[in-house]
Amino acid sequence: MHATDDSADVFEQAAIGGDQMIEIDEALKKLADFDAKKSRIVELRFFAGLTVEETAEILDISARTVKREWRFAKAWLYRQMGR
C-alpha cells in the first residue's frame, strides 16, 4: 500500500491483495489500540461491506458520526501504511 505519487507502476499495485489485507488488518489493530470505535467502523465498512447507514445502525450512532470517523480513520490508516 503506497501513495500513488511514488514511481512504481500503479498497475502492479492496484488491487488490494491478500498481503495488503493483512497489512490493513495490522494497521487496524494499532488503530483499535487508541480508538476502538474507529477500528470497528473500518471493519464493518471495509471488511463487511456495510454501508454508512448500516454501520450506523449496528453501532447505534448517527450516520454523520460514521462518516466523520470513517474519514479520519481512513487518513490515519493510509498514513500508517505508508510509513
Cell numbers 511514488: residue = 6
Residue 56 touches other proteins, criterion: CB under 8 A: no
Task: Output the nine-digit C-alpha cell for 53.
Answer: 447507514
Judged by beta carbon, residue 7 or residue 63, the one nearer other proteins is 7
- Please work out the total of residues on this chain that contact other proteins, with binding judged by CB under 8 A: 50
Binding mask 2-41 for other proteins (x = CB under 8 A): xxxx-xxxxxxxxxxxx--xx-xx--x----xxxx---x-
Gyration radius of the chain over CA positions: 14
Contact with other proteins (CB under 8 A) among 23, 26, 48, 66: 48
Could you tell me if 40 and 29 are in contact, meaning their C-beta atoms sit under 8 angstroms apart?
no
Which SS3 state, helix, strand or coil, does residue 4 take? Answer: coil
